[in-house]
């Protein structure tokens, strides 16, 4: 398969503190790849480098064969990269449809695009497109609801649909199961599998290893900003460097539920 995302020698420091050091990995088209590691390993920082929030000090990020170093976040969205956040960033006073329409903004320009989520413009092409996407993802029952009234797990799914409105090829998920109970996490797993089934590549930062194991067949493990493992999710708990990172050197012969 062709690598949709290629990360080569990525490094980043803040105020003399090295946070990411020489990290390289690839995500193939259609892959479900997990990025895991202990707290403080550098996972969210790496996401911020990939999405253009921070510039890297060294290294190269390539998306669909095009080097995107220096490209602003908005341009990366237009090139096929979208992201969700650990903390929900929906507009609580808007409806589900209006929130999903906000995910279309990078594909439109001008005053009309800025005002298109407002209901006074009626069911525009943007509105109908948002409705179709919501229905395709099985959330039509919530179509006209105000976001603030929705269960937390549904709001998580709506945020993902908003990211899909950007028509990404690569979707980066920062702890999508945070704050969810077991039932909601299982529903999220099925929802992400449905997204993956459309051909979108997933890169997932997550601490819930039951979700990681059931969703992702490959994972990259970071520790203190360095890559220490890149391989099968099923075998990660047997790797000595991963065990040492989670349990310490004295217990590296044991097994652990990593992440």
pTM for this model (two decimals) = 0.85
Q: What values do phi and psi take at 223, rounded to 5?
A: -145, 125
pLDDT in tens, 121-169: 556 788 888 999 999 888 999 988 999 999 988 998 998 888 888 899 9
Q: What is the largest CA-CA distance in the chain?
A: 65
Please give the domain boundaries of the chain with CATH numbers for all domains: 1-80+168-259 (3.40.50.300), 93-165 (no CATH)
Helix 125-136 with 152-164: angle, nearest 10 deg: 120
Work out the end-to-end distance of the chain between its first and last CA atoms, rounded to an integer number of angstroms. 28
Cα 216 from chain centroid? 13
Q: What is the DSSP letter of 156?
A: H
Cα 120 from chain centroid? 33
Spell out the long-range contacts of 2-5 with Cβ–Cβ below 8 A and sequence spacing 24 or more.
Answer: 2/28, 2/29, 3/27, 3/28, 3/29, 3/62, 4/28, 4/29, 4/31, 4/63, 4/64, 4/169, 4/170, 4/201, 5/50, 5/61, 5/62, 5/63, 5/170, 5/201, 5/203
Average pLDDT value for the chain: 87
Compare 109 and 258 and report the one with higher pLDDT. 258
Q: Is the pLDDT of residue 249 over 80?
A: no
Least confident of 56-60, 135-139, 250-254: 250-254
pLDDT above 90 as % of the chain = 61
Task: Spell out the alpha helix ranges (H) of the chain.
Answer: 43-50, 73-78, 96-102, 110-115, 125-136, 152-164, 182-197, 209-215, 240-247
């Amino acid at each position: 398969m062709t690598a949709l995302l290629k990360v080569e020698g990525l490094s980043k420091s803040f105020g003399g503190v090295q946070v990411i050091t020489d990290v390289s990995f690839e995500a193939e088209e259609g892959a479900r790849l997990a990025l895991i590691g202990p707290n403080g390993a550098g996972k969210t920082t790496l996401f911020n480098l990939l999405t253009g929030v921070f510039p890297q000090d060294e290294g190269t990020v390539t998306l669909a064969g095009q080097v995107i170093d220096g490209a602003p976040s908005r341009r990366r969205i237009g090139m096929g990269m979208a992201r969700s956040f650990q903390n929900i960033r929906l507009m609580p006073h808007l409806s589900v449809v209006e929130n999903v329409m906000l995910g279309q903004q990078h594909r439109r320009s001008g005053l009309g695009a800025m005002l298109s989520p407002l209901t006074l413009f009626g069911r525009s092409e943007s509105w109908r497109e948002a409705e179709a996407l919501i229905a395709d993802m099985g959330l039509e029952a919530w179509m006209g609801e105000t976001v603030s009234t929705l269960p937390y797990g549904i709001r998580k799914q709506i945020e993902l649909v908003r990211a899909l409105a950007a028509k990404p090829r690569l979707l980066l998920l920062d702890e999508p199961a945070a704050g969810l109970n077991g039932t909601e996490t299982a529903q999220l797993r099925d929802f992400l599998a449905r997204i993956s089934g459309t051909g979108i590549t997933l890169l997932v930062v997550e601490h819930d290893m039951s979700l990681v194991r059931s969703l992702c067949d490959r994972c990259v493990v970071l520790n203190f900003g360095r890559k220490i493992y890149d391989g099968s999710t099923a075998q990660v708990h047997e790797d000595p460097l991963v065990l040492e990172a989670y349990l310490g050197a004295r217990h590296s012969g044991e097994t652990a539920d990593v992440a």
